[in-house]
């Protein structure tokens, strides 16, 4: 039976309306900005390396442009940069994907009649165009307001003050959901409750002003603000839109078998950089197919594994089966169907291992449920067992 997650969630404050940011909070705009910047800077013989990402997230177009021009010493003004960059960016707006959990959140709040506003530093025409590619979004918001409609953009509170005014609600009754530091600063300056969902990795410690910091929209608990709770959690798991991934099992850090006693079949990150930017770090589960062997239950982590402080985001599936030998060189395919929890740090190796085994218990049990078990017959996995093709794989 599907129901809300059985976790104690004490009420932080009662709110009656929600104001959402757009870029980096609901839409994976950061990835598109990165892709376009890479192409744009090549014209000047420069290479985008992401070192200035923190200076452009949440900023107005003018501020972000100034930061890039200055950092890369471009032979143009910020105004000239905006004029040249904007058409390139606009041509790709249809490629921006909603972040995981965005549709779920919008549909949930709208379905319960919660007044919602969208407040973004982007110019209003850009907002309208982005909304047009996401069915039902524009109709879900009572108010949509862009940075060109107020005197000052975030971190000024002007956008949020105007949003509350148009919603005709008290400032203290508003809950802001933001991904950037300028957005969080603006929300608190407006006298509102603020949830931060940092869009940049390993930045959570900087969001001290926020009333709550969460890893992703999957981890939002509306009932903490007396809003209607999500009711789609089932036995400590959240069903998600299934996604498929396959590739070589590469040699990992060696810690899976040697340190943790939990052998993982690591996937290369090089082929999945866009996917890694799209999906939040955390623990997921689903089904795994290994060529010439079979289909097995699996639980996996995506992220930096804070206990080991990974230098890069990784994908580390644990196939829940005792294999007699390594399957180096064999093809692996995954169908990811559910989410368990956000990535977390642990005070000891023992507590980390205990949590991983708890994740295994949750995944093994959940995968027996019809909502998840049906994906064992996914064609993506079945086709793997019907072919004799071998890919290049190495097990950890």
Q: Annotated active-site positions, please?
A: 21, 23, 316
Peptide bond into 86 cis (omega under 30): no
Helices (H), 194-327: 255-258, 273-278
User: How many C-beta neighbours within 10 Å does residue 270 have?
Assistant: 9
Relative to beta strand 314-319, strand 294-303 is antiparallel
Contact 333, 384 (CB under 8 A): yes
DSSP string, 154-186: TTSSHHHHHHHHHHT--GGGEEEEESSHHHHHH
Contact 48, 30 (CB under 8 A): no
Strands of 187-313 (E only): list them.
193-196, 212-213, 238-248, 282-290, 294-303
Adjacency order of strands within the sheet including 116-120: 143-146, 116-120, 17-20, 174-178, 193-196, 212-213
Contact 297, 280 (CB under 8 A): no
Question: What number of CA atoms fall less than 13 Å from residue 30's CA on the CB side?
Answer: 26
CA dihedral sign, ordered 371, 26, 179, 111: negative
Q: d(Cα 319, Cα 337) in Å, to the nearest integer?
A: 15
Kindly state the DSSP code that residue 256 receives in the 8-state scheme. Answer: H
């Amino acid at each position: 039976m599907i129901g809300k997650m059985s976790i104690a969630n004490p009420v932080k404050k009662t709110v009656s309306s929600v104001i959402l940011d757009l870029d980096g909070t609901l839409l994976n705009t950061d990835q598109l900005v990165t892709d376009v910047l890479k192409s744009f800077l090549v014209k000047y013989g420069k290479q985008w390396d992401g070192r200035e990402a923190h200076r452009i997230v949440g900023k107005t177009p003018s501020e972000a442009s100034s930061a890039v021009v200055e950092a890369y010493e471009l032979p143009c003004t910020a105004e000239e940069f905006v004029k040249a960059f904007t058409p390139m960016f606009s041509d790709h707006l249809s490629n921006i994907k909603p972040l995981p959990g965005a549709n779920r959140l919008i549909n949930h709040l709208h379905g319960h009649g919660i007044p919602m506003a969208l407040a973004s530093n982007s110019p209003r025409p850009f907002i309208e165009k982005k909304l047009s590619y996401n069915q039902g979004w524009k109709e879900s918001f009572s108010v949509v307001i862009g940075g060109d409609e107020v005197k000052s953009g975030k971190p000024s509170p002007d956008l949020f003050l105007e949003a509350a005014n148009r919603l005709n609600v008290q400032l203290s009754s508003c809950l802001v959901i933001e991904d950037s530091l300028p957005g969080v600063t603006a929300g608190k300056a407006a006298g509102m409750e603020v949830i931060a969902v940092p869009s940049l990795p390993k930045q959570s410690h900087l969001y001290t002003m926020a009333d709550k910091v969460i890893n992703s929209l999957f981890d939002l608990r509306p009932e903490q603000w007396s809003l209607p709770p999500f009711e789609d959690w089932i036995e400590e798991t959240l069903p998600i839109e299934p996604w498929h991934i396959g590739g070589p099992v590469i040699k990992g850090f060696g810690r899976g078998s040697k340190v943790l006693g939990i052998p993982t079949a690591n996937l290369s990150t090089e082929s999945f950089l866009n996917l890694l930017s799209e999906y939040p770090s955390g623990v997921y589960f689903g089904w795994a197919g290994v060529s010439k062997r079979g289909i097995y239950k699996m639980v996996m982590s995506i992220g930096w594994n804070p206990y080991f402080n990974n230098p890069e985001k990784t994908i580390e599936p644990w196939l829940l089966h005792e294999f007699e030998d390594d399957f180096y060189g064999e093809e692996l395919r995954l169908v990811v169907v559910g989410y368990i929890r956000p990535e977390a740090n642990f005070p000891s190796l023992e507590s980390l291992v205990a949590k991983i085994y708890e994740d295994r218990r949750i995944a093994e049990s959940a995968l027996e449920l019809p909502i998840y078990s049906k994906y064992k017959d996914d064609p993506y996995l079945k086709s793997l067992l019907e072919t004799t093709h071998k890919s290049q794989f190495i097990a950890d």
